[in-house]
Amino acid sequence: MKENIYDVIIIGSGMSGLSAASILSQLGKKKVLVLERHFKIGGFTHTFKRKSEHGEYHWDVGLHYVGQMEEGTATRAMFDYVTQGNVRWNKMPDPYDVFIYPDFNFKIREKESNFKYDLINKFPHEEKSIEKYFVDLKKVSAWFGRYNFSLTLPLQARLISSVISSKGSNLALMTLKEYLDQNFSDVKLKALLASQWGDYGLPPSQSALAVHALIVSHYINGGFYPVGGSKEIADSIIPIVESYGGALFVNNFVKEIIIEKGKAVGVKVSEKKGNGFIDIEYYSEKIISTAGAYITYTQFVPKTNEPGFIDEVKNFKLGAAHVNLYLGLKENPAKLGIKGENYWIYNSYDHDQRFVSNDDLIEGKVNGVYISFPSMKDPEARNHTAEIITFTRYKPFEKWASEPWKNRGEEYQKLKEKISDALINFADDHLKGFKKLIDYKELSTPLSTVYFTGNPEGAIYGIPAAPERYKMKWIGPYTHVKNLYLSGADAFGHGIVGGLMGGAITAALVMKGIRGIPNVFKEAMKFQYKK
């Protein structure tokens, strides 16, 4: 008789894994096991803290702002349902995103009408194209809805899926650069419209218009931040899962999916115990992997069950990696006129050139950054914090990959110092006085991402949102192995709401197939009305 049996096993405890676990527990009354390789539950929603003489600082690793959290929206209803209403959302200041270019600044105000008005005001000669841009964003967002629906159809209905997602795909699957070049002539306006590309990690020449439209629309009514930080998400969901007999284990590294007669029936896990590891097997009827398509197909699925499309997965370009400078501030950034909005600071109008010049970072040269002020968005934060993020590649850091975490040697430490100083100086050039606020600093590199998540080369957003991604048949919740599902960035979409909705939909599919989806949304709406 097999031991360690659960109804559903979920690999990964990020937003998608937690969302699926909560719904499977609440609605399906399932006994769910969540397995996480990190020593904390939460994936990119986990937080960490450091102490200094000025106090304790808390940072989120992968949540700075979330859109569509207004009361009454389907996304908010779903969030409230999976967390049982225990995550409170704080509205960010309006304007929420500020773009700083060499010779102009632009602030995005909440609401499409304001955004459009401000764009036309600044670029009146492009008025017609700006009007058309907002119409096209809606068309492309509608395509995204159809595309995501097509992913939920069983594999046997792939022909119908292709028909559903083909309508509108010519527009949605242009690159952003192609779209901007066809419709606009002003170089500054083209750069400005692409300013949020850091939210999906691909510059205009590589990103699908689809993902751009999704992100712009996602934030169009402003940003929200979870009171208490992103750890509140896991803190709310863990007790829900446990109350239905489920469990969430950290330090549990999934090595392989056990497949018997073509069906996934369990997982082989290496659990960290003290200084060593022990091997354990867990069994269940259904398994959801949220570790990403790349890890799932190249590492979890045994060679004997390799899918026919394995080379496509292996050869698909990996996504962007990043460095994140976590800062503890001894003074309130309000002193500099900052209210908690995000800053996107660029030293040129050419986002593509900037992206390929990312290796300059190793030489201490910064071309652009994103700065977030978590403490200013959180009414319960005790001490002030900031994060400076920029994209980079894994390669320049690779030579330290086999060195132990927190002890990668002097040369690595010096490189981190150089990058940190360069990021701080770049920020200070644009936000005068910023440097003087800093009390504590710590830089994470792509090696940190690999170490904690296992993501190949430190990629942060899963399979990159290039037009080709949306043509790949292996993107989506179903896999070639019966009872094995994918969720998270590579099943539906990246981001907190991508993870939330993807987790919810995969949970529905696991419980009742496509018929389960309306049920999950109905329950979420019911919970909203009860509140």
Residues with Cβ < 8 Å from 198, sequence gap 6 or more?
344, 370, 389, 391
Q: Does 44 bind ligand FAD (CB under 6 A)?
A: yes
Residues 15-34 that bind ligand FAD (CB under 6 A): 15-17
Q: Does 453 bind ligand FAD (CB under 6 A)?
A: yes
Q: Does 495 bind ligand FAD (CB under 6 A)?
A: yes
Among 204, 340, 488, 516, binds ligand FAD (CB under 6 A): 488
Q: Name the helix (H) or strand (E) containing 321.
A: strand 321-329
Residues 216, 119: Cα–Cα separation, whole Å: 14
Closest contact distance (angstroms) between CB of 404 and ligand FAD is 18
Closest contact distance (angstroms) between CB of 320 and ligand FAD is 10
Stretch of 87-95, 180-188, 205-213, 490-498 contacting ligand FAD, by CB under 6 A: 490-498
Q: Does 494 bind ligand FAD (CB under 6 A)?
A: yes
Q: Please name the amino acid found at residue 443.
A: L
In the block, which residue shows the tokens 């800053």? 343
Stretch of 150-158, 288-296, 393-401, 425-433 contacting ligand FAD, by CB under 6 A: 288-296
In the block, which residue shows the tokens 């769910």? 32
Considering the complex, state which of residue 190 and residue 441 has its C-beta at the smaller distance from ligand FAD.
Answer: 441
Considering the complex, state which of residue 326 and residue 349 has its C-beta at the smaller distance from ligand FAD.
Answer: 326
Structure tokens at 11: 């690999």
Q: Does 253 bind ligand FAD (CB under 6 A)?
A: yes
Contact between residue 38 and residue 452 where contact means Cβ atoms under 8 Å apart: yes
State which residue has the least CB distance to ligand FAD: 14
Closest contact distance (angstroms) between CB of 417 and ligand FAD is 21
Among 191, 288, 295, 423, binds ligand FAD (CB under 6 A): 295
Contact between residue 451 and residue 402 where contact means Cβ atoms under 8 Å apart: no
Contact between residue 246 and residue 9 where contact means Cβ atoms under 8 Å apart: no
Q: Does 301 bind ligand FAD (CB under 6 A)?
A: no
Residues with Cβ < 8 Å from 213, sequence gap 6 or more?
136, 137, 140, 141, 144, 172
Q: Does 64 bind ligand FAD (CB under 6 A)?
A: yes
Residues with Cβ < 8 Å from 171, sequence gap 6 or more?
136, 139, 140, 143, 179, 209
Considering the complex, state which of residue 160 and residue 278 has its C-beta at the smaller distance from ligand FAD.
Answer: 278
Among 10, 23, 32, 35, binds ligand FAD (CB under 6 A): 35
Among 119, 238, 423, 489, binds ligand FAD (CB under 6 A): 489
Considering the complex, state which of residue 174 and residue 502 has its C-beta at the smaller distance from ligand FAD.
Answer: 502
Closest contact distance (angstroms) between CB of 454 and ligand FAD is 4
Report DSSP letters for 9-75, one per residue: EEE--SHHHHHHHHHHHHTT---EEEE-SSSSS-GGG-EEEEEETTEEEEEESS-S-B---STTSHH
Residues 47, 228: Cα–Cα separation, whole Å: 10
Considering the complex, state which of residue 180 and residue 323 has its C-beta at the smaller distance from ligand FAD.
Answer: 323
**Site pattern 117..146 for ligand FAD (x: CB under 6 A):** ------------------------------
| Cα 331 from chain centre | 30
Q: Does 316 bind ligand FAD (CB under 6 A)?
A: no
Tell me the sheet residues that pair with 248. Answer: 34
Tell me the sheet residues that pair with 51. Answer: 56
Residues with Cβ < 8 Å from 390, sequence gap 6 or more?
322, 323, 358, 361, 366, 367, 368, 369, 370, 423
Number of residues near ligand FAD (by CB under 6 A): 40
Q: Does 456 bind ligand FAD (CB under 6 A)?
A: no
Where on the chain is the footprint of ligand FAD (CB under 6 A)? 11-17, 35-38, 43-45, 62-66, 252-254, 290-291, 295, 322, 324, 389, 453-454, 460-461, 488-489, 494-499
